[in-house]
Structure 1
Amino acid sequence: MSSGTTELAWFKSSYSGSQGDSCVEVAITEQAVHVRDSKDVTRPAFTVGREGWAPFVRFASGY
């Protein structure tokens, strides 16, 4: 995890259930989009440049 990712404004998808399990959290900055496991926020975050976010989401969703 790069230093500073703990200070980011993390949020969960509105599709996440009220139990909060099996979710990912996302934080968006001017330079990148950060993704982490909401169950273990101490683990390293996955970071992708903003220009790579849309292709990543298309790939991950199967479209």
Structure 2
Amino acid sequence: MRLQQILREDPLLENELRRLLDGELTPALPADEGERIGSLLMKATASGSGRVYQAGRDQHISE
């Protein structure tokens, strides 16, 4: 949440943050964790009594 706030206040920092993540931090991760890096954008709309379930990884629903 803090990074979102910082980027909203100064959008020009996005390129520098991306360079830092892609060039320095991601390569330093263990191999199995580095494979999980990516972008994910999810949008959903429910109306009436509809439900929306979204997950970037595992999802377990018990009703």
TM-score normalised by the chain length of structure 1: 0.22
Larger Rg: 2
User: Which is helix-richer, 1 or 2?
Assistant: 2
Instruction: Say which structure, 1 or 2, has more relative contact order (CA 8 Å, 6+ apart).
Output: 1
User: Which is strand-richer, 1 or 2?
Assistant: 1
TM-score normalised by the chain length of structure 2: 0.22
